[in-house]
């Protein structure tokens, strides 16, 4: 079943329940617990309960010639800025997309040159990868990236000491690369969404783009504000 059909089905269920009179009693419950139990698969329920706060959407492994621009279009329509951690190998040929990310206020960070585990290389090689990708981004945007997301989240003390970049990890893994289903991705993120969450996604699948924009709509309606990772306050 595709996403639109699922959404239509959800609305049909909600409307049917409203006709049965149950919806009204659920809506009258202020604490939201009834709504959560009632809707079951209505993925916004938990997010509504824990409404408010800030979230950072982050996208790794791009830019992607097919999917990054539709994502940028959707984010622009919604006035939302995200954080992109780029691969040097993917920047080549997609420079205009990188420039657009910067022009539209998104944060651009380094993911690496070719998605290798930086902790499995010599520190010199790892630093070279980071520096090379950083220089590519700087040449396009005129800004020096300050944040790095190491592939697989693998980082170590040596790298930390040797670079002035700030590593950025994540608190919510959307598993978008594995699920490849818009509805499931939305549900997996919404169940863990909370104030200060850093959401990991990949702008290389149509389902990821659809899910990201759906998440922006749902979670904004739940009272969340989307920020770039540099805007998240660290306790």
Q: Which is nearer to Zn ion, 60 or 69 (CB)?
A: 60
CA distances from 168 to 34, 100, 192 (A): 37, 22, 18
Q: Does 61 bind Zn ion (CB under 5 A)?
A: yes
Residue from 150, 189, 156 nearest 168 by CA: 150
Q: Which is nearer to Zn ion, 173 or 194 (CB)?
A: 173
192 annotated active-site: no
Of 26, 43, 60, 148, the one binding Zn ion (CB under 5 A) is 60
Interface stretch with Zn ion, choices 65-73, 134-142, 147-155, 171-179 (CB under 5 A): 147-155
150-169 positions binding Zn ion, by CB under 5 A: 151
Residue 67's Cα: distance from chain center in Å? Answer: 14
Q: Which is nearer to Zn ion, 200 or 219 (CB)?
A: 200
d(CA 108, CA 101): 8
60 annotated active-site: yes
Nearest approach, Cβ of 229 to Zn ion (angstroms)?
Answer: 15
Q: Which is nearer to Zn ion, 88 or 151 (CB)?
A: 151
Nearest approach, Cβ of 36 to Zn ion (angstroms)?
Answer: 33
| Binding residues for Zn ion (CB under 5 A) | 60-61, 151
Q: Which residues are catalytic?
A: 60, 202
């Amino acid at each position: 079943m595709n996403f639109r059909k699922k959404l239509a089905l959800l609305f049909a269920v909600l409307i049917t329940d409203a006709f049965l009179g149950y919806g009204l009693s659920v809506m009258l419950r202020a604490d939201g617990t009834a709504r959560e139990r009632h809707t079951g698969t209505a993925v916004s329920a938990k997010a509504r309960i824990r409404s408010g706060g800030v979230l950072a959407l982050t996208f790794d492994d791009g830019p992607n010639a097919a999917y990054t621009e539709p994502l940028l279009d959707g984010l622009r329509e919604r006035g939302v800025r995200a954080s992109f951690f780029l691969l040097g190998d993917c920047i080549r040929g997609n420079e205009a997309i990188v420039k657009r990310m910067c022009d539209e206020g998104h944060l651009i960070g380094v993911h690496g040159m070719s998605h290798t585990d930086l902790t499995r290389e010599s520190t010199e090689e790892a630093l070279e990868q980071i520096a090379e990708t950083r220089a590519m981004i700087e040449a396009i945007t005129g800004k020096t990236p300050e944040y790095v997301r190491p592939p697989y989240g693998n980082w170590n003390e040596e790298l930390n000491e040797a670079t002035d970049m700030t590593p950025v990890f994540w608190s919510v893994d959307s598993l978008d690369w594995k699920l490849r289903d818009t509805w499931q991705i939305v549900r997996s993120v919404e169940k863990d969404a909370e104030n200060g969450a850093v959401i990991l996604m990949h702008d290389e699948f149509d389902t990821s783009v659809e899910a990201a924009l759906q998440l922006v709509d749902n979670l904004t309606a739940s009272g969340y504000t989307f920020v770039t990772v540099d805007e998240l306050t660290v306790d």
